[in-house]
A and B are shown apart, each in its own frame.
Chain A
């Protein structure tokens, strides 16, 4: 009875992603390194199969491979509803800037954020109230919940796309002014400002 087989059985039977700690509890405190190694081997084993072993929300789960989405969807008559742009933008801001108040979200989007948007995100468990900000009015502070990580296939918040490149507003202002002085300087020298567009966009193509 190999460890890999035991893991497969546990993960398949579970309703939600299974964490390492839970596996250890059930396997007599086996060293986590051993479990991780077996999981990594399983993960690569399933990489070429119709189901994948993926890490999401702090645990491991079997999922159908994304390339079979259209096929699998035919099992059900109900199509998953599309998310509106306002919902996605609000979710993105909450994910990257949590804990964040509604007013801060509105400032970033430049429009009101309706209760139905926040409510819709809360209903799915993607967003939850983390607490209150100790400023007048004590507004709610929003953050993401575990279902957000699970549903979007994120191991943790660190796996959000491009989080490292995200700039603060102060940094953006600084950058804006810096670029302007460069532009002025170039204009004085009688040369057109250097084109930064076009060439380096290919890197982000994926």
Chain B
């Protein structure tokens, strides 16, 4: 069975027009698995990547967790990975002309996980946040 990655529910985010808003998502990768960090050690590896696709906020910067260097039986050198609980923070700009009221900010978190013996196809977990533009 392929590994699950869950994202904790995020309370409605209040965003003031013209200001910046910071949103942190808290993710959990099932025990016994690891996923490549955003900066994997090998060009062939698929990085952890958060993509914002729709919503009133304009993404400015994403801060990923620093990967921990772990050694696995299938790699000669340590790999930069995330395991268990980790957070990703996004800094947004709230456009001055954004429509007031609640809106959906949508994205997806792509990850590719392995255990010590096998790997699983990359998956994208949807990230949906309610934003209240004020």
Tell me if chain B binds chain A. Answer: no
